[in-house]
A and B are shown apart, each in its own frame.
Chain A
Amino acid sequence: EIVMTQSPATLSVSPGERATLSCRASQSVPINLAWYQQKPGQAPRLLIYGASTRAAGVPARFSGSGSGTEFTLTIDSLQSEDFAVYYCQHYNNWPPYTFGQGTKLDI
């Protein structure tokens, strides 16, 4: 099973700043990596797939990078609506398609 490890667990930033979230896979998943955003009381929302491709309707301030085992989600110029929990997930090859434990983006 591929273990996905996200860091930090909580990231405190201010509106207008940049946030950088990390995700590490215990073995290579090439670019088969997605990022999701979840706000309280809501279902998760796909932000990034293929490690760096924004999903439909996702603002350009969200960007993903990385390949293999190290991945980053960057959010430029944070808006109030960006404060949420972010999860990475691999969908490489064979299940289980594990999620990271999440990073809470806090004001």
Chain B
Amino acid sequence: EVQLVESGGGLVQPGGSLRLSCAASGLIFSDHAMSWVRQAPGKGLEWVSTITGSGGNTYFADSVKGRLTISRDNSMNTVYLQMNSLRAEDTALYYCARGGYYAALDVWGQGTTVTVS
């Protein structure tokens, strides 16, 4: 069974930084693009970022471009989201999901909460 477990969320002041992690198991990790999707309280889903299986290509929503960086360690089956210059509007539940590069998001983690205040 494929599992994704996010960690690293928390409370941070505006302008601060956080690094989210997503540990994957039950899959050949390097075969899959990985994505981050967020959901602000009471709002809908917002695609944030995708990284290809090799890590060679990364993509970002305009709302986070230049502030967030996505990376992966295929030896550790982990994808990261480095979040810098955080704003109040970045407050959300951040989900890690498998897929996103020419593919639907077929497996999701339970999310980690980021609060910027």
Determine how close the nearest CB of chain A comes to the CB of B44; give it in whole angstroms.
Answer: 5
Contact residues on A (Cβ < 8 Å of other chain), bracket: 20 to 34
Measured between alpha carbons, how far is A36 from B60 in the docked complex, in Å? Answer: 21
- Beta-carbon contacts of A89-101 to B below 8 Å, as 1s and 0s? 1011101111111
B45 engages A91 (CB within 8 Å) = no
- Beta-carbon contacts of B69-104 to A below 8 Å, as 1s and 0s? 000000000000000000000000001000111111
Comparing B9-17, B18-26, B105-113, the segment that makes contact with chain A is B105-113
CB-nearest residue of chain A relative to B106? A46
Contact residues on B (Cβ < 8 Å of other chain), bracket: 20 to 34
User: Which residues in A have their C-beta under 8 angstroms from that of B46?
Assistant: 99
Given known A32-B102, A91-B102, A91-B103, contact A97–B47 (CB-CB < 8 A): yes
Partner among B60, B61, B62, B95 whose Cβ is within 8 Å of the Cβ of A44: B95
Interface of A is mostly: loop
B62 engages A36 (CB within 8 Å) = no
A96 engages B61 (CB within 8 Å) = yes
Given known A36-B45, A89-B45, contact A96–B104 (CB-CB < 8 A): no
Given known A44-B45, A102-B45, contact A97–B108 (CB-CB < 8 A): no
Given known A95-B59, A96-B61, A96-B62, contact A46–B47 (CB-CB < 8 A): no
A96 engages B45 (CB within 8 Å) = no
Interface centre among B60, B100, B106, B107 (most CB of A within 10 A): B106
User: Which residues in A have their C-beta under 8 angstroms from that of B108?
Assistant: 43-46
User: Which residues in B have their C-beta under 8 angstroms from that of A75?
Assistant: none
Determine how close the nearest CB of chain A comes to the CB of B35; give it in whole angstroms.
Answer: 8
Q: Write the residues of chain B forming the contact surface with A, with a CB cutoff of 8 angstroms.
A: 35, 37, 44-47, 50, 59-62, 95, 99-111
Q: Write the residues of chain A forming the contact surface with B, with a CB cutoff of 8 angstroms.
A: 1, 32, 34, 36, 38, 43-46, 49-50, 55, 85, 87, 89, 91-93, 95-102
Selected A-B contacts with CB under 8 Å, 22 pairs: A34-B104, A43-B109, A43-B111, A44-B37, A45-B108, A46-B107, A49-B104, A49-B106, A55-B106, A91-B100, A91-B101, A91-B102, A92-B102, A93-B102, A95-B61, A96-B47, A96-B62, A97-B35, A97-B100, A99-B45, A101-B44, A102-B45
